[in-house]
Amino acid sequence: MPTGLRGIICEPRSFKLAFRGDAAVDIAEVNEEILDSLGKYALKAVLAYTEKGRAVTFEELARNGMEDGIPADGSETIKVLHFDFVEGKLFVLTRNSAVPLSRLKLTLAYRLGGPEARPSETDGKSLEPEPDEYTGDVFVKIKGL
């Protein structure tokens, strides 16, 4: 399900999570939970939580790919975003514990929306991301280049 961000239509295509080597995690359970949430809420789906308990959504992370390289003619471009997270700052939840997230590979399709496209609203809150205290490094690549 596509979602609009500042007039840009964005659709999640795939994601791959990596955890610290010693983290005990049921990857299938975590993936199933996230996929279920993506099916229901698209980019508004929560991926993880900061150590302070603030939810981090796919929408928040997708903003990293909106800067350049989106064709003005409305055609779609696929971007692969690689995130390295600061150790112990971003967590996914399993049934009984918080598991530290180490890396994320997120593939998204972007295209400019038509004149009817409006920025999404999040309960009257600004779409500007809150200060990012969890990302160590972000690499964005346009797929096919």
pLDDT at position 125 over 90: no
pLDDT at position 3 over 60: no
Is there a contact between 82 and 126 (Cβ–Cβ < 8 Å)? no
Structure tokens at 11: 């659709």
Between 127 and 103, residue with greater pLDDT: 103
Average pLDDT over residues 101-127: 68
Between 91 and 122, residue with greater pLDDT: 91
